[in-house]
Amino acid sequence: MAHTDHKCSGHFSAPSVHQTLDELEFERGIWSAALNGDLTDVKRQLEKDIDADKTDKSGYTALHYASRNGHLDVVRTLVDAGAHVDVTTRSGHATPLHRAAYMGHTDIVKFLLSRGADPVSRDSDEMTPLHKASERGRLECVTVLLEASPVTRTARDSRGRTPSDCAKDDTIKHLLS
């Protein structure tokens, strides 16, 4: 009879054996909890005096991850714990508002705006959150961002495009014209 228990066959290896220290730090850190929407773990990390604006190796904060992945309760908790709503990533200069708008998380866009997020902020491509929402066809986010800052309608990115130029959706193009 063939032996099928791979734990004893010499072919089993634990995933953690192959993790880098950066990967292990991410997995155990506040970023992974925020990415996965694990509010209990986020609160536990914050109770251990972890800085709500601590960046991972790539320059992202937990607020960037929670905003991109639609975890409003985690976003609220992080902001209440002192996370800055306009914190930018190192390389792309994206804010949590850029990330939420791009993914179409209207509730998070509204919350971040209510807490002072800058709708005119620009990433490294000079795109505003309105550009990001427009290019992805996020009509509700476009509407909210346009109400928050009508001036962004005419903002031009590094390629000279307005949010309307980035839009593929005719409804959004019409709204922005």
* Mean model confidence pLDDT for the chain: 88
- The average pLDDT across 50-72 equals 94
Enter the pTM of the model. 0.85
* Cβ-based burial of 139 (10 A; exposed 0-12, middle 13-18, buried ≥19): middle
**How far apart, in whole angstroms, are the C-alpha atoms of residue 137 and residue 134?**
5
* Cβ-based burial of 159 (10 A; exposed 0-12, middle 13-18, buried ≥19): exposed
pLDDT tens-digit map of 19-37: 555 555 556 679 899 999 9
pLDDT tens-digit map of 159-175: 999 999 999 999 999 99
**How far apart, in whole angstroms, are the C-alpha atoms of residue 6 and residue 153?**
59
